Structure 1
Amino acid sequence: MESLWQQLTRGHALLLIFALGFGGSFHCGFHVTSLSSPSSFIRSFINSSWHTRYQESAPPQTVTVIWSLIVSMFSVGGIIGVLVFQFIASKLGRKKTSIFNSVLALIGSGIMLTSKYAESYEMIIAARILYGCTAGLGQTIHLMYLGEISPIRLRGFVTVTSVTFQSLGKLSGQFFGLSEILGREHLWNVVLCVPAAFALLQIIVLPFLPEAPRYLFIEKGDDIACRKALQSLWGQGDYKDDMDEMLAEQAAIDAAPRKSPLQLLGDGSVRWQLLSLLVITLCNQMCGMPTVSIFSFDIFQSAGIPPDKIRYVMVGFGLAEITASFFAGLVIERVGRKLMFWGGYSAMAASWVVVVVLLNVTLSSHWAPYVVVSFMAANIIFFIVGPGGAMAALMSEIFLQSDRKAAFVLQGIGRWFFFGVQGFFFPFLINALDSYCFVLFACVCLLGCLYNVLFLPETKGKTILEISKEFNGITLCRGSNPLADTMETKL
């Protein structure tokens, strides 16, 4: 039996995975962490720009409002990117949508780079909106593209690479923000444009790589192009099993036409898939991991880490996240999705409780803050090896091709909404509850654990139709499902 490396290198699959990664979720990860390093420089730039225009210093409240807009517009752009995803992906296909997204990233970087010389903080806000659009659209098309190029036996590993590249993006944002690299005042606009180089790389490489085989077969009806794409990606072969699965899914789609996000919400045949999507998205966004990324400096400072060492601790966290994502890719096809979900959530809940206890126990030792940080690092590992990694695979497994784009839109809206809510309310929570705010994260993790133990079926090694049948077999609060019966009869 061929090793994983041999299967990835028989064709161009590995090259496509890298091209999609650096042009996809890498951007989202980079822009989540890169803004923390030059934040003080950008505030000074806002003040100096204001002074140049009005010959007076900007009021502190005005600087705070402008800075808040710069931070929050990223989430607004993310929602816009998700909302236009279904339309663009249907019109352009997977490959052209990825290239279009990279062009948007270049435009945003051009605006950001020139904002310093134009002395315009409005251009920073506009660039952040475009960055959000590229993150929302790019992350969504990246995950869908991966799911549609991967055979069943490698679907888990291939889709988890989206998490790996997002982690790599976070680490790159922290690394390039170090004062020894680009984290200096005269380079703040340059450090925020680093992803442009990877977007340009994708624009150059991607035209020479194949379109998603599943898209070619099911949506374009071109079985010859689909077979050629599979052979280009994974080496020579007839791929009869993979194409038979696509044919069966196409028959199911004929019985259930493509839906918009609103139509999908009203479809009773996928209520359990939608509920699972909502609960897991909520738990993944509200379990504390985005908070550690956004407010890492404040959290580590309150834990007692010296300010001059915090950036290096953040780089260490980034390395831990990447290592965990590699491990998740290796184990996901061995242990399955269900264990990764409930095991990761339960370990995170226990870890958050330990963090709360340590923060409320007076420890005079100089190493005490590092114990707290080590448990936070463990939380990151539990998340990536657990629900963070498994969610990437699940999104490509629980919906038919006709429902998948609408499902990605709904999941993206939920992800960016919860991301924005947590970013806005966490400062108020930590002021009101202090360290006990982490108890809320533990409760969310416990909710995710219970839901996945009770209701989520295992999806490892199963076709999408088999997984849909298992969801339809859940009888709690469920009546008859004539649409599912019609689909099964047609098949």
Structure 2
Amino acid sequence: MATFLSDLVQYRGFFQMVLILGIGGSFPYGFHISVINYPSMHIKRFLNATWSSRHGRPLSPEAVQLLWSSIVSAYGLGGLLGSAACGFLTARFRKKKCQAAANGVMVGAALCVGLSESAASFEMILLARFLFGVGIGISFSIHPQYVGEISPKRLRGFANATVAIFLTLGKVAGQVAGLREVLGGASLWPLLLALTGLSALAQSAALPCFPDSPSYLLLQKGNEEAFLQAIRRLWGPGDHGAEIEDLRREQVQWCPSSSPLPPPKGLRVRELLASRSLRWQLYVTFALMTTLQLCGINAIYFYSFEVFRTAQFEEETIPYVALGVGVCECLSSVLCVSLGHHKQQQHHHQQQQRHVFTSPPLPLPAQSSLIERFGRRRLLWGGYAAMVLVLALLTATLTLQHRFLWMHYVSVVLIFLFVIFYGIGPSGATIAVMVEMFTQAFRPSAFVLVGILNWAGLFLLGMAFPFIVAWLGPFCFLLFVAVLSASAAFVFLFLPETKGKSIVEITAEFNKLNYRRKKDLFKEEANHHYPKEGIFCTRL
């Protein structure tokens, strides 16, 4: 315990910045996913009352539903726009400035929705939801990149997994705040929807106290002094030679000292898609993001209320049981970075066998986490396999629940198990892999694709899933079983393990797939294609 506390003291700058990035990054994303369902009846009444006061007649039920659907979907459209623009914005203005601007957009959205009822304007709610989407689309793309870039190699898995932790904390916070005893009442719903303006203000106040990422300062700015100051500020005193050496090796690989350094130039998404040296990294990105949207977790949240009603829970208690599902996901995400015992000497020996220059092993908190003990690859395919089993059983219990009363309670248990396997496995490991696969120059454009896939999938699934449920009933989960099975096989066969490896080592692992024949790699290097793509330096 004393060692753990001493490590927290040494790396206090790093842990503080992880906290600051989380409350303004993935936290509001999760909050707005869960919170919008709670004030739905109050907002629909407000829509009808506002229309009646303007035009002297109420809206038809179909028109109310159309306006409500527009309010819900505006968040996804704004997020799609924000994530698509994030690559250009971060390349031109760097991450800290873009995050501050995104916070300003979210504060404006909070004021807009907070004043909507007093202004008798439902258009302000629609605008606020869109602006929340834009701001969170930018923040949610910046968060995993920034937190991965400030992390020492030993803490990288822990730091990347905190993205999922803050996301689930946001979901739980939205569920708690949405309870009628808190802010879910008929008169407080504008404050409920505006609540994330406080997290944006808190991050805006704290972010100037922290440095830019060390990799940005070294690779993009070329500022050696600021680079070393940032490392000391974030990682404290000590020998950080291994991490510094890895960054210098990345600098040499992408900007060789033998050639003059070109002016910083952003790698466009089109160029990223055309790059042969990133072909399998993109395959993995598309597979993981598609699976994250089609793994069934959103469907579980949608279907859980129906399962709880069928299990004869009282209507007043169902929100609290649903809150238990959210808490379960949050706790399982925390377990992903807080359980397990990693044998440090064995880890150090494996590093030496790979001829990686590392500093002596330290008893850091992240070395006891599941994501560091089992690695990203095993948590992904193992989590997918466990989720396949649970969904298959859930399909059976939902089909048979009208014949056997006790099947209702088995279905409830399976929902909790599914959320646990999701939180321990794919939830945290997906972000970790995507941050670790791409170098500093390629990462912003890669996360543009990640954001587009995420927000487009969220929007399309929200529109299509109710119709799929009406058509297939409980058999809709078999679609997710097929997706998870295919993804588990893909990850097991093709994804290299990224745990404890530098970006140079990870790139070399993917080059075995990108260039199946060595002569192809030599030919590419001889034609200067691979180095030419590598020297594009994207400003943050």
TM-score normalised by structure 1 residue count: 0.95
- One-letter amino acid of the structure 1 residue matched with residue 36 of structure 2: L
Partner in structure 2 of residue 110 of structure 1: 111
Partner in structure 1 of residue 336 of structure 2: 328
Separation of aligned partners in 2, 1:265 and 1:4: 43
- One-letter amino acid of the structure 2 residue matched with residue 12 of structure 1: G
Q: Is the 8 A contact 2:307 2:408 kept in 1?
A: no
Q: Is the 8 A contact 1:21 1:142 kept in 2?
A: yes
Say if 2:520 is the partner of 1:480.
yes
- One-letter amino acid of the structure 2 residue matched with residue 388 of structure 1: S
Relative distance call for 1:296 and 1:37 in structure 2 (3 A) is: farther
Partner in structure 1 of residue 9 of structure 2: 9
Separation of aligned partners in 1, 2:305 and 2:132: 22
Alignment of 1:19-34 (within 5 A): 19-34=20-35
- One-letter amino acid of the structure 1 residue matched with residue 31 of structure 2: F
Say if 2:437 is the partner of 1:429.
no
Separation of aligned partners in 1, 2:267 and 2:24: 28
Query: Which stretch shows the higher mean deviation, 292-301 or 79-88?
Result: 292-301
Partner in structure 2 of residue 165 of structure 1: 166
Relative distance call for 1:303 and 1:135 in structure 2 (3 A) is: farther
Matched residue of 1:186: which SS? coil
Relative distance call for 1:364 and 1:185 in structure 2 (3 A) is: farther
User: Offset at 1:66?
Assistant: 0.4
Query: Which stretch shows the higher mean deviation, 266-275 or 287-296?
Result: 287-296
Separation of aligned partners in 2, 1:122 and 1:80: 19
TM-score normalised by structure 2 residue count: 0.87
Alignment of 1:32-181 (within 5 A): 32-181=33-182
Q: Is the 8 A contact 1:287 1:441 kept in 2?
A: yes
Count of aligned pairs: 491
Alignment of 1:83-482 (within 5 A): 83-254=84-255, 258-293=266-301, 296-298=304-306, 300-301=308-309, 305-329=313-337, 330-362=369-401, 368-474=407-513, 480-481=520-521, 482=523
Matched residue of 1:401: which SS? coil
User: Offset at 1:161?
Assistant: 0.6
Relative distance call for 1:301 and 1:120 in structure 2 (3 A) is: farther
Separation of aligned partners in 1, 2:442 and 2:475: 40
Matched residue of 2:194: which SS? coil
Separation of aligned partners in 2, 1:370 and 1:223: 60
Matched residue of 1:440: which SS? helix
Separation of aligned partners in 2, 1:296 and 1:133: 29
Relative distance call for 1:284 and 1:414 in structure 2 (3 A) is: same
Q: Structure 2: give runs of 5+ residues left out of the alignment.
A: 257-261, 338-368, 536-540
Q: Structure 1: give runs of 5+ residues left out of the alignment.
A: none
Give a deviation string over 1:228-287, Cα, whole Å, max 9, x none: 111111111352221221122122323797411111011111110000000111011111
Separation of aligned partners in 2, 1:52 and 1:195: 30
Identity over the aligned pairs, expressed in percent? 35
- One-letter amino acid of the structure 2 residue matched with residue 201 of structure 1: A
Separation of aligned partners in 1, 2:514 and 2:249: 25
- One-letter amino acid of the structure 2 residue matched with residue 331 of structure 1: L
Q: CA RMSD in A?
A: 2.3
User: Offset at 1:393?
Assistant: 0.8
Q: Is the 8 A contact 2:329 2:422 kept in 1?
A: no
Structure label with greater radius of gyration: 2
Separation of aligned partners in 2, 1:139 and 1:275: 21
Query: Which stretch shows the higher mean deviation, 291-300 or 39-48?
Result: 291-300
User: Offset at 1:365?
Assistant: 6.5
Q: Is the 8 A contact 2:439 2:503 kept in 1?
A: yes
Give a deviation string over 1:313-341, Cα, whole Å, max 9, x none: 12111211111111111211111011000
Matched residue of 1:379: which SS? helix
Give a deviation string over 1:151-190, Cα, whole Å, max 9, x none: 1111000111111000000000000011111110111111
Separation of aligned partners in 1, 2:474 and 2:311: 10
Matched residue of 1:460: which SS? coil
